[in-house]
Amino acid sequence: MPEPSSPGTSLSDSDLARLDSLLGDLPEPLQPPDVSALDGYLCGVLLQPRPVAAAQWLPWVSDVEGRPAAASPALQELQGLVLRRHAELELAIAQRDWFDPWIYQLDDDADPGECLLPWVAGFAAAMEAFPELMALSNPELVEPLALLFMHFDPEDLEDADALTAVIETLEPPADLAEAVQDTVRALMLIADVSRPRGSAPRPRRAASGGRRPGGQRPRR
């Protein structure tokens, strides 16, 4: 297993393209997530009340059912890139700082909820694999979770009456940029509950010139 990365080792656009390529090259019967679902999954892992060891969450990176991938240089490179993204997200969440989630415009006709769905599906996969966050009975979690799960079909939200009731009061985001802002805001509100820190500042906007949320989707 690659060594955990130190904070500040952000992935470049070329790193992201390489990660996307490595995911696509994993052999059958493995079914890896796409980069957007992977990003949502990592955020879900990081928001658990207790840290989750890499050995526990890494298997899902190469297969959505957690089946192990054969050891290889390509797998080591893949896991190294993912650990760098994990470190980047961990630092942003800990500092309550803005970051660009990997959410992409699928096509010109796709609405914001459709574009966000792969990311939220990855987040939901983390909730299923590591249920401690969803087991917290804190009412302050309901609204931020509703902001994320509002993009699911209501029929997929069984036994979640409180969540569904809040979702019904929410207005869908007007565009993808608003959907991305709502997503980051929701994550920081969840972190205030599950990973509290003293006086946490609100997330700052991304500086101009960086990778824009809702940009071109990497090709597989």
Better-scored residue on pLDDT, 23 or 219: 23
Confidence of residue 157 (pLDDT cuts 50, 70, 90): low
DSSP string, 27-62: PTT--PPPHHHHHHHHHHHHTSSSPPPHHHHTHHHH
pLDDT on residue 213: 39
Structural domain contains residue 18: yes
pLDDT on residue 164: 74
Structural domain contains residue 3: no
pLDDT on residue 13: 93
* Chain segment 158-184, per-residue pLDDT in tens: 656 677 777 778 888 889 999 999 999
pLDDT on residue 168: 78
Structural domain contains residue 34: yes
* Chain segment 45-68, per-residue pLDDT in tens: 999 999 999 999 999 999 999 998
Q: Other CB atoms closer than 10 Å to residue 118's CB: what's the count?
A: 23
SS3 (DSSP) at 105: strand
Contact 67, 28 (CB under 8 A): no
109 pLDDT above the threshold of 90: no
- Residue 61 in tokens: 């990176």
Structural domain contains residue 1: no
Mean pLDDT, the chain, rounded, equals 85
Structural domain contains residue 160: yes
* Chain segment 111-133, per-residue pLDDT in tens: 888 899 999 999 999 999 999 99
Structural domain contains residue 211: no
pTM of the shown model:
0.84
Structural domain contains residue 156: yes
Structural domain contains residue 216: no
Confidence of residue 82 (pLDDT cuts 50, 70, 90): very high
The total number of structural domains in the chain stands at 1
Query: Alpha-carbon distance 190 to 48, whole Å?
Result: 9
* Domain coverage including residue 144: 13-194
Kindly state the percentage of the chain with pLDDT values over 90.
Answer: 65
Mean pLDDT over 94-98 rounds to 94
* CATH number for position 62: 1.20.120
Query: Alpha-carbon distance 165 to 106, whole Å?
Result: 29
